Amino acid sequence: MTTSTLDHRPGPPGTCAHRPMVWDTRSMVGGGTQRTTKAGRRIRWQRVQRMAIASLGIVLLLASSPLAQVFSSEQGPLRLTTVARGLEHPWGLAFLPDGRLLVTERPGRLRIVTPDGQLSAPLGGVPQVFAQGQGGLLDVALHPQFTENNLTYLSYAEPGAGGAGTAVARGRLRETHLEDVRVLFRQEPKVTGPVHFGSRLVFAPDGMLFVTLGERGQRDRAQLLHEHLGKLVRITPDGAVPSDNPFVGQAGVRPEIWSLGHRNIQGAALHPQTQALWIIDHGAQGGDEVNMPAAGKNYGWPIITYGRDYSGASIGEGTAKPGLEQPVHYWDPSIAPSGLSFYTGTRIPAWQGHLFVGSLKLGLLVRLRLEGPRVVHEERLLQGFGERIRDVRQGPDGLLYLFTDSPAGRIVRLEPLAR
């Protein structure tokens, strides 16, 4: 439920503030205790009526406006404002140094969006994508020295012999196109099916690039080290294998692998203090996970999980097993998480260091408060918003930006509303 921007008082946590507006006509005409002439009283009453009608019009306009909505939170009311609309299943976002946004659309388009919401024509040079089911153009990331080299990275579902798999390509961003595009990484093997491609791109402080993947709907292969399915991989900015990757030099093992036993990683971000990578892994029916993937570790899918198959059948051997990692946090029932961001802004100081996760299933935003590596509190924001949230990113203005996942997707901005 949303409420008018004219009523800023928050309701109970997890609900939207909404209280009836009460008009005190006595205060508007001078307290109601002074003796006035009949004509004077009529003039004042007509003035009150005009004010009430005008204010009611504003309330109705704001309530029906698609541009702004107001939601309650534990830190006070929040305003959600549309920044851009008309995007077809927007998936990934990068903030350009000049204030514009670089946005991917899953069918295979890359666009530049201005701060006032104007969409560019699709940029040229984007590789061909496998735009079926969950496949298509996925994430976008800028090289750490983008201002010097304009290097831009894309992850996407790539068609090819055997089916499709996640790939990473790099090119130099120009105003209308990418140039010098080349593929840096290909998930092997390519398999049939339209699900579980991942994928997010995160540059680590050492300059290496993390690429999150899915197991392409073939769960048992997440445990096979000679394949990339169900893995998190780490490559250099040029696509080479870093010499300190955990499986380098082991026969029959893909050297790009950083960790294994993942289902479908659709969110990744660096912790602002420790610089460790955090991820969210989209579970089955329950069992969505937050993890801190360490080098060479096995996160269990599908041997252990807190979820069940969509048929209701059990998966694997239970929820724990020696040698397999436990999640930092999990959801059961599932929220269908997608998009992950740590908040470091100053607009809501109480949120600093907290983790934000989008929900596709519930159409809301989850805030997780941490103490070290533990989640100690969860708040569900934007209750009643109802649109699938694909991604969440913090902008250079210190505010959170969200993608809605639909054929008529939007970019929306979340900000505190002054009280």
Q: Is 262 noted as a catalytic residue in this protein?
A: no
Chain position carrying tokens 């030099």: 249
Strand 68-71 with 78-87, pairing: antiparallel
Under DSSP, is residue 394 helix (H, G, I), strand (E, B) or coil? strand
Q: Which long-range contacts (CB under 8 A, 24 or more apart) does 272-275 make?
A: 272/342, 272/344, 272/353, 273/353, 275/204, 275/205
- Among residues 143, 196, 329, 354, the one annotated as catalytic is 196
According to the 3-state scheme, what is the secondary structure of 3-33? CCCCCCCCCCCCCCCCCCCCCCHHHHCCCCC
Q: Whole-angstrom Cα distance, residue 267 to residue 281?
A: 7
Alpha-carbon distances, residue 297 vs 91, 103, 312 (angstroms): 28, 32, 28
User: Please, which residues have CB within 8 angstroms of residue 219's CB and are 6 or more apart in sequence?
Assistant: 230, 263, 301, 302, 315
The Cβ-side half-sphere exposure at 74, using a 13 Å CA radius, reads: 12
Please give the positions annotated as active site: 196
